[in-house]
Structures are given as C-alpha cells and as structure tokens.
Amino acid sequence: MGTTAPVVITPSSEGCLSPAPDPYKSMMHFTHVLTIPLYLTAIYALINNCPKTLKEYRKYLLWHTLGNLLFELYISLFMLPVTYLPYPVFRGAGFLKYLDISGLIQFYLLVICLIHTGLSILEMFKYRFNSTISDDTLNKKVLNYIVMFFWVIVIIIPVFCFATLPRCHPKQDHYKQDLYDKNPGISIHVLCNTVVTAPPLIDPVFTPLMTLIMMAMLLAATIIPQTFLTIWKKLDQLSKHLSKKTIQLQKMLLTSLFIQAVIHGVMLGAPLIGFIYAVVFVLPYNYIAYMLLLLISFHGSFSTIAMIAFTKPIREGVKSLFQSLFPFLILSEPRTEKIMVVTSTTSASTKQRDSIFMSNKNSFLSV
C-alpha cells in the first residue's frame, strides 16, 4: 500500500496581491499630498535660498532630506508592510508586490534605509563638531571612530544580507510553512513570497543582523547627546572671542540638528523596540503595529518640519518661496513716508544737529 504524498497548499496570486487594510493604506498613501510638497519646498530652499554661511553644511542637509524622502516613499508606497499579529510576520502590500519581490529582500532594504538615516545624522554632528572644535580631543576621536563604524555597517549589512539570500530564502519558506501548519487559524497569505517572518532567535543570520543594528543604534543614542553637550560648552567658551551673531547661528544650527535627531530616535526607536518585543514575546494587536509603522514612515516629514522651523535661514528661504508663489496671500504693507525734520538749537554747549525720523501714518510705532 503506497504512502500518500503531503498536500502542498499554496496561496492564490490574488490573495498575495490583496491590498493593505484601510484606513492604514489611505494614511500611508494620501498623506503624501502634504509631505511631498514639504520635502520639495525644503529642497528648493536649501538649493536656491540658503545663505553662503551654510554653503557647505547645506550639502549634509540636502543629503539627509533626500534620504528621508526616499525612505518615506519606499516604506509607504513600495513596501507598505502589512502585519498579522500576534504572529511575527510582514507582507509587502506596496508596488513591489506586483514584481513579486520577496518579503526578505523588502525587509533588508528597509534595514538599509534605517542605517542610512542614522549615518546621515551622525555625519551632520561630525561636521558641526569639526567646525566648532579644532583641537584633537578624545571626544573628537571617539566621534570619528563611531562614524567610521557606521560606514562599515552600511557596507557590511547589504553585503551580509544579500550574500546569505541563497540560504535564507529556503529557510524563510520552511519557517512560513511551519508557522502555517502549527496555527490553523492563521491567514494563508503568510505563505506568499512577499511575506517575511521572524526566524528563531538562534538563527545564524537574523541574530547577528539584529545585534549589529541594535549596537549601532545604542552607540548613536550615546554619542549624540554627548556630542551636543560638548559642542554647546565649547560655543559658550568661544563667546568671549567670537561675535554674538556667530555664536547664535552656531547654537541655532546645533539645536535644530539635535531636535531632528531626537525625532528620528523616538519615531524609529519605538517601532524597533516594538518589533523586537513582537519577536521575543507576543504583541497581540494589529492597530499598535500599524501605528508604529506610521511612525516609521513619516519620521522624515517631522524631521524636515523641525529643520525648517528651527533653522532660520531655511525658514526664511521657505517664506521667500511662498511669497513668490502666492503673492496674493501677502498683506499689503502700509506705505511709509520719510519726513526730514531739521531742528537747530543755539546753545553755547551744543552744536546744531540734524535728525531724521521715520513716521508711519498707520502705526503707533516710530522707527
């Protein structure tokens, strides 16, 4: 009597192409009506309205802003991850699903985007540090080593991830099939090629990868506040030798950068912690996962808003752009008249003086 072959269950192509649920999908897609003009405005201001004092630094700001834009477009349009909690599973429901790009590759690209964000922030802190502190201090050496470490990670992670794909793809198929067999109520969508599931913690690829990412994030979280305080202290010391305007400009740029770093730290750190928690323990609610994914997606938009709001030259550039695009929204300023009043006194102790006064008929203030 022959043995029966095991039944192989495969999901339908229509099921694997099913869209992400609303309102999550709508928020990920239609929020770009606001965020893309925001990015384009910031980029235009950096290129055309940035003062000469920021000529070199604006290259870093442009790099960071473009990176934020590409990150946001990737996760919200091309990847658009869908969760199946309490199971540690992502399914790519974005444009890449039509190309049947594996979920593992989509996840690896997301990891590269995360590391790139941390690298660009550290490079900007390094630039601010070097422009303020010329001495070869221990902090300067440590910062340079950490930035070099990040560069190594940025190179190692893609090489490591894609070099292990021949091993990891069959393993992913095994893990997904095992997950489906052991959980009768789970969606058949977890078997799609566009799905990635968390492997066991002892996996020889997953564990080193997550360890490397966590190490990089912890180093950044440690060095950024230390660098900020060191630069601020140095600026206070230089205030005795440099003009007040120069010190204010340097502190403004440093404060803006630190606020951007905090935004990235919170909006990327919280989802990363949530992801690790879901893998190690159990995260039962999908709505929490979607809130965390929204944080990841739009962290760059909030960072760009902070850059504009707290960096006066860029803010003035954006204001100038809006004034040129929408002149009808600008309130007409009251006309001013220059009135020259010449007064003379004939006193032995004083000389004749001319005074020029600016009067405004519609204002109580005199200039």
What pLDDT was estimated at residue 60? 95
Q: How far apart are CA 67 and CA 334, in angstroms?
A: 43
Contact by Cβ (8 Å): 294, 90: no
Q: What pTM was computed for the model? A: 0.83
The domain made up of 13-324 is a member of CATH 3.30.300.30: no
- pLDDT one-digit tens code per residue, 33-63: 999 999 999 999 999 888 777 888 999 999 9
Q: Per residue in 57-69, pLDDT tens? A: 999 999 999 999 9
d(CA 107, CA 235): 42
Where do the H-state alpha helices sit in the chain? Answer: 13-16, 24-30, 32-48, 57-73, 103-132, 138-163, 165-182, 206-238, 244-280, 286-310, 312-325
Alpha helices (H) along 49-102:
57-73
Average pLDDT in the chain: 83
Burial letters 309-331, b for 16+ CB under 10 A, else e: ebbebbbebbeebeeeeeeeeee
Question: Could you tell me the residue ranges of all domains in the chain?
Answer: 13-324
Phi-psi region of 18 (alpha: psi -120 to 50; beta: other; left: phi over 0): beta
State CA 195 to chain mean position distance.
25
pLDDT beyond 60 at 332: no
Residue 364 pLDDT > 70: no
6: left (phi over 0), alpha (psi -120 to 50) or beta: beta
